[in-house]
Amino acid sequence: MFDLQPVLTGKLLKLRPMQPDDFAPLFAAASDPEIWAQHPSSDRWKQEVFKGYFDSGLASGGALVILDAQTGEIIGSSRFYGFDESASEIEIGWTFLATRYWGGLYNRELKYLMLGHAFKYVDHVLFYVGPHNKRSRRAVEKLGAVLIGERERFGGKHVVYRLSKRALTP
């Protein structure tokens, strides 16, 4: 069975299950409007909007907080969602990092930690991205994910990328 909330540790980051008492430090990391500027929920930097994101993460059973491995500070969040055993796929999404951790190294390690875990259980990972979120689209394309179409989801249109395990193995 897919473990939706593993503890994953890399050189730069540690991921652990999201807990109710993570709200304040996670909101502190998320309260910069620049994080959400290209996102379909561009006002998620507001506490009352972020609360819905946080609560849905707890309810999903797959939300992880991202910590700086050196300081232990919460710097973002991501999720595993929509495990489909018959299709051998899962989604990685709802990801954000505090802006001071932008630039590639942290997001790359985050994705590789999550992909390494996911590919123990599934053959494909999906990424749902807001169509105008160029930053996120470039990031998943750099991983080798392929655009497979558009889908309506949670009241909005998303582009969907798929990354297959075989694309990462020689």
Q: Give the domain ranges of the chain.
A: 8-123
- What's the pLDDT score for residue 170? 45
Collect all residues with Cβ–Cβ distance below 8 Å to 20 and sequence separation of at least 6: 58
- What's the pLDDT score for residue 135? 84
Q: Taking the CB of residue 120, how many other CB atoms lie within 10 A of it?
A: 11
Name the stretches of the chain with pLDDT < 70.
Answer: 168-170
Q: Which among 102, 49, 107 has a CA at the least distance from the CA of 78?
A: 107
Q: Which amino acid is at 53?
A: Y
Contacts 24+ apart (CB under 8 A), 131-135: 131/157, 131/158, 131/159, 132/38, 132/40, 133/38, 133/39, 133/40, 134/38, 135/38
One CATH from 3.55.40.20, 3.40.630.30, 3.30.1330.20, 2.60.40.10 for 8-123: 3.40.630.30
Do residues 74 and 17 lie in contact, with contact meaning Cβ atoms separated by under 8 Å? Answer: no
- What's the pLDDT score for residue 169? 57
Model-wide pTM > 0.75:
yes
Q: Which among 8, 128, 137, 2 has a CA at the least distance from the CA of 64?
A: 8
Give the DSSP H or E segment for 168: helix 165-168
Q: Which among 160, 118, 124, 168 has a CA at the least distance from the CA of 143?
A: 168
Measure CA 134 to chain center: 15
User: Would you give the end-to-end CA distance of the chain in angstroms?
Assistant: 26
